[in-house]
Amino acid sequence: VVDRLMVDGTADVMSGGGWVLRQFQTGKVQQYLVLTVMVIIVALFFANLGLK
């Protein structure tokens, strides 16, 4: 049963990842926007760590 759940979960992640990749491929601008936002969030996160 556990193995079955693991396989199903992996399949869900793979299909979800494929959907995200397709979204990126259809919208290059959206891809750069998401990347920029992620970089800003990571930068702010590390800045907060440095302040503490």
pLDDT at 37: 92
- Number of domains into which the chain is organized: 1
User: Would the pLDDT of 7 be above 70?
Assistant: no
- pLDDT per position as a tens digit, 14-49: 777 777 777 766 777 677 888 889 999 999 998 888
User: 37 is in which domain, residue-wise?
Assistant: 2-51
C-alpha radius of gyration, the chain, whole number: 17
- Comparing CA positions, the residue from 33, 37, 4, 41 lying closest to residue 49 is 41
Interatomic CA distance for residues 24 and 27, integer angstroms: 5
Would you place residue 5 in the very low, low, confident or very high pLDDT band (cuts 50, 70, 90)?
A: low
DSSP assignments along 1-52, one per residue: -HHHHHHHHHHHHHHHHHHHHHHHHH-HHHHHHHHHHHHHHHHHHHHHHHH-
Indicate the pTM of the whole model: 0.41
User: Is 10 or 33 the better-scoring residue by pLDDT?
Assistant: 33
